[in-house]
Structure 1
Amino acid sequence: MASLHYKYAAMNSGKSTQLIQAHFNYQERGLTPYAMTPRMDTRAGMGIIRARVGLQLEVDTFGTGCNLFRLIKVKAELASLDVFILDEAQFLTRAQVYQLAQIVDELNVPVMAYGLKSDFRGELFEGAYYLLCLADKLEELKTICWCGNKAHMNARLDAEGSLVREGEQVEIGGNERYVALCRRHYIQGKARA
């Protein structure tokens, strides 16, 4: 029976590395994975998932208006589809998360979604909120703060490296804009020792 999986973590936890490895594992076994990433995330280029360890995967992209259920239904009717894998799942809309559940329940296609849980203000992303509500299986991937403790907060940095506490929820960026911190250092506003 298919399941909806949500693998979430703070920045720099290896989400993209695990996603690329999962995609490879399906292909290596002769199965057919299909992966997508949000159109808005162009850090590595349009439709490219790139892990910090150097791995990358070319995939299709989707926007906030894309009906993922309809898209996957058509793909599954045209060819075998063994898993649907999504990167940056925090950017999904509520409707799209419900579409993922529909893919699992009606098409019997497993869905593996990877993403952040919370933003730089410590608030849940819309996609993360509904995935936490609807996913059959939740897995928190671990990373560490500069102090060595578990990091589960995403801090946004300004040009001088100081924490930013206000602004738009979505601002695409990597290590130059974000750092994963433990709760203590996030609250204290200490991005480094």
Structure 2
Amino acid sequence: MARLWFRYAAMNAGKTSSLLQVAHNYEENGEQVLLLTSALDDRDGQGVISSRIGLKRDAETYSTRTDFSERLKDVDVACVLIEEAQFLTVEQVRQLHRWVHTKNIPVMCFGLRSDFKGESFPGAAALLTLADNLEEIRTACRCGKKATMNIRIDENGNRVQEGQQVFIGGNSSYRQVCARCFYK
């Protein structure tokens, strides 16, 4: 039976490289996958899934206007892999959950659980509620403890505590931290 997966982590945990490894494993067995990433993330170009360790793949993009009931209606793949899943809407997560259980094709979503203020993204909250499998991808804080939170930093490395929830950036804009360091 197919399942909706949510593999979540703080920044810099290897979510993207994990997604690309899953795609490689399916394809190595002769199966097709559909790769989707948020249209918001254009750091390496529109429709590119790119990891910090240099792995890259082209992907289709989705936005808040994407209707997955329509988009996936006639898809013939072994698995759907979704990057930046925190940017999904609650309704899109419901559509994916319904699709998995009516089409019997797994969907694996990879993304952040919370933002730099410690608040949930709507898509992540819906995935934490509806996903059939939850898997935390672990990473470490600079202090050595398990990182579960994210902080936003400015160009001088100072913590930013105000601003829009969505600000696309990588290592120069965010850092993973444990809860203790988050509240320091």
User: For this structure pair, what is the TM-score category when the shorter chain's length is used for normalisation?
Assistant: over 0.9
- Partners of 2:178 and 2:90 in 1: how far apart? 28
Describe how 1:16-27 pairs up with structure 2 within 5 A: 16-27=16-27
The reply to whether residue 29 of structure 1 matches residue 29 of structure 2 is: yes
What amino acid sits opposite 1:176 in the alignment? S
- CA shift, 1:162, in A, is 1.1
Displacement over 4 Å in runs of 4+: none
RMSD: 0.7
Q: CA deviation at 1:89?
A: 0.2
Partner of 1:101: 97
CA contact (8 A) 1:15 1:114 kept: yes
| Aligned counterpart, 1:158 | 154
Structure-1-length-normalised TM-score: 0.94
Structure 2 gaps, min length 5: none
Partner of 2:73: 73
- 2:86 aligned with 1:90: yes
Match status 1:50 vs 2:50: yes
Tell me the amino acid that sits aligned with residue 159 of structure 2. L
CA contact (8 A) 1:155 1:186 kept: yes
The CA distance in 1 between the partners of 2:144 and 2:48, in whole Å, is 31
Q: Could you tell me which residue of structure 1 aligns to residue 61 of structure 2?
A: 61
Contact kept? 1:73, 1:107, Cα under 8 Å:
no
Percent same amino acid at aligned positions?
46
How far did residue 107 of structure 1 move? 1.3
Match of 2:183, SS state, is helix
- Cα displacement (A) at 1:69: 2.1
1:131 aligns with 2:122: no
Equivalenced residue count is 184
